[in-house]
Amino acid sequence: MRQTFCNTKADCDWLRETHLKQSNWNNELTIPGFKSFCIFGNEDCPREILIYRDEHPNVDDKPIRAMLMDNGGYSFSKV
C-alpha cells in the first residue's frame, strides 16, 4: 500500500479542506492544529491518515488516526 508523508502548510491546508471537514466526522474528537500527516492509500480516498502535531514527528509521538468508513466519512481515534 502506498504511503505519503507531508509536512508543508499547503499540504496540511489541503488535508483540512478535503478529508477533515466537519461534515465527514462521525464523532466528536477534536483535531488540534497539526503540522504533518501520513496518508495510506490513494490521496483522493485514503484508507487511513495519521495526523501529527509536529512538523517533524518522532517515532514515539502519538498521532490521531482517521480511518475511512463505509459511508465515506472518517472515524477518528487517538493512537
Structure confidence by residue, pLDDT tens digits, 29-56: 667 689 999 999 999 889 999 999 999 9
- pTM for the complete prediction? 0.86
Rounded to an integer, the average pLDDT of 52-74 is 91
What is the reported pLDDT for 4? 96
φ and ψ of 11, to 5 deg: -65, -40
Contact predicate 49/1, CB 8 Å = no
What is the reported pLDDT for 70? 87
Pick left, alpha or beta for residue 72 (phi over 0 → left; psi -120 to 50 → alpha; otherwise beta). left
Rounded to an integer, the average pLDDT of 9-22 is 86
Out of 23-27, 43-47, 68-72, least confident range: 23-27
